Structure 1
């Protein structure tokens, strides 16, 4: 909630009932929970980070969009959902398994947790991933939330990653894949929102750097949706969310991050808000969140920063 210009962390469980709650704390975070045996360094500390996330972070929000919560050969997604339920997140939806006849072997890793009723949900797979994304059923996940008499649509996605390559042709293929995925996403979002005037968010790991020329591909694709990049809108600039580089040039995080990625210093995680409807963000609560952790073998909850905001629904 917002009160006297401050971001409060009162949970719905200890305050107003969900039916009357109008200020909503939203987080998007790539939680970096890849399948078992996959790791960058000595350990990804997946189980310990899940435990910390459930015990210390979930309670601070009302709607959480997560990426890279892969359920293949592990129960971490189920653990997060169970813990969330105990904290008042009675509703959730996630990306489905790819299915027997699809080329992918793992799910898309998307998960939405909500304190508010999810009255409609859907998923659309991209189907054009390039190695090693070809193995994951990446796509865009939709949840329609009922907040009192209002509806709020949440979309979360995780698009094609860029993998280190000396070939400009390969790098261009990654960009083209993301461009097609944005086009697919826009059609999907329109199918869920064009017949109403409900507010909606698009949140996730776009793998498109806000400091690069490719950022224009997001603006071009989303132009007809009439949305704003809330970080840039509030702060007048973007902030790095992955591969953070210190002023000395050294990587900020080395436990989870790959040595080829830990100084990329890119802004690839976003929340976009539709300009229609009756919703508005609170600038003082809109920022990137590093989730620094002390006294643990890992220094952050993920190799990504989260992006968070508080919105009003009136």
Structure 2
């Protein structure tokens, strides 16, 4: 299929948002270094029928896809909040409730269309945050892995009497369908104590149907024999099989958001992830990967799929037919 490269019609500029919180976003890498200093990122995406902009500082990528002719803009915030419960002996001590209160009042959570939250395990902190965001985002899923009530379907291997999976999706627009899927591969290490998986929602804004999968896959864990790599592969395969089973029209966009927990510097696993999900690698720009919280750019948060097609790469173009994607990562 031939594609035409379209110029960007709009560019969105971001103001630096200063928040006195110890928050992090680890879309593709949740390895914690000795200092336990967490990188802070904001993911913001703008869609239209002629361009699709992923704006995060220092990353650039372009790809194109087919959309209906009617104009549609979509802003998505995806955030790994690291809100562990106090019962978690490893991570449950980061002032979860205080951070949730401040986060719910922060400017960057405003004026989005969809918010995908991951690692919102703590009940009190999660309820505080969701209550503060409810007025602007009235359509909300429950956290995955907590209960089967309120979901259109529960798939995978739901386990009773275990910690929830920490993923929630909020929408300004009507959620037409919501499914929770608990991974059949429950992972290894600390992750085995959680009902990890993904939330799937189908939303409608204007005339456009958009499918979103919000997930948090197996974290890198030193107690796993392979640091969790095999579990992640199996979980990514489960995501792909689910998307295929939905038989989504190739005129509709599918987005995978959240914490994919794949280290881009591990090229074998990284490329394997792209192959499993049947997407091509974006064109990255900027400095190489780093743990410097001011410079980190080697993380990927969202993958877009046009069902029924495999994206074709041309030179440095990460291309689907007829839509341009730009990726940049930046601090909040």
Whole-angstrom distance in 2 between the partners of 1:21 and 1:76:
37
Aligned CA distance change for structure 1 residues 245 and 200 (closer, same or farther; 3 Å):
same
Structure 1 residue ranges without an equivalent (≥5)? 10-19, 247-251, 254-264, 292-314
What is aligned with 2:132?
83
Whole-angstrom distance in 1 between the partners of 2:287 and 2:197:
24
Whole-angstrom distance in 2 between the partners of 1:90 and 1:279:
32
Matches within 5 A, 1:116-195: 116-128=173-185, 129-165=187-223, 170-171=225-226, 174-195=228-249
Secondary structure of 1:30's counterpart equals strand
Matches within 5 A, 1:219-234: 219-223=274-278, 227-228=279-280, 232-233=282-283
Whole-angstrom distance in 2 between the partners of 1:196 and 1:279:
13
1:216 partnered with 2:246: no
Matches within 5 A, 1:279-294: 280=323, 283=326, 286-291=327-332
Map Cα deviations across residues 6-39 of structure 1 (whole Å, 9 max, x no partner): 3479xxxxxxxxxx98222112111100112436
1:98–1:104: 8 Å Cα contact kept in structure 2? no
Moved more, 208-217 or 92-101: 92-101
1:109 partnered with 2:166: yes
Report how far residue 289 of structure 1 moved.
3.2
What is aligned with 1:45?
95
Question: In angstroms, what is the RMSD of aligned CA positions?
Answer: 3.3
1:206 to 236, 260, 266: 260
Aligned CA distance change for structure 1 residues 101 and 199 (closer, same or farther; 3 Å):
closer
2:85–2:92: 8 Å Cα contact kept in structure 1? no
Q: TM-score, normalised by structure 2?
A: 0.64
What is aligned with 2:78?
28
Report how far residue 222 of structure 1 moved.
1.2
Map Cα deviations across residues 243-289 of structure 1 (whole Å, 9 max, x no partner): x633xxxxx59xxxxxxxxxxx7955520012469884553xx3223
Report how far residue 76 of structure 1 moved.
2.1
Structure 2 residue ranges without an equivalent (≥5)? 1-7, 16-69, 149-156, 308-319
Secondary structure of 1:162's counterpart equals coil
Whole-angstrom distance in 2 between the partners of 1:42 and 1:108:
15
Aligned CA distance change for structure 1 residues 204 and 6 (closer, same or farther; 3 Å):
closer
Report how far residue 206 of structure 1 moved.
1.2
Aligned CA distance change for structure 1 residues 269 and 49 (closer, same or farther; 3 Å):
farther
Moved more, 194-203 or 108-117: 194-203
1:239–1:288: 8 Å Cα contact kept in structure 2? no
Aligned CA distance change for structure 1 residues 4 and 237 (closer, same or farther; 3 Å):
closer
Indicate the structure whose relative CO is greater, using CA pairs within 8 Å and at least 6 residues apart.
2
Report how far residue 103 of structure 1 moved.
6.3
Report how far residue 136 of structure 1 moved.
0.3
What is aligned with 2:140?
92
Whole-angstrom distance in 2 between the partners of 1:266 and 1:175:
22
Q: TM-score, normalised by structure 1?
A: 0.68
Report how far residue 201 of structure 1 moved.
0.4
Secondary structure of 2:302's counterpart equals strand
Aligned CA distance change for structure 1 residues 266 and 35 (closer, same or farther; 3 Å):
farther
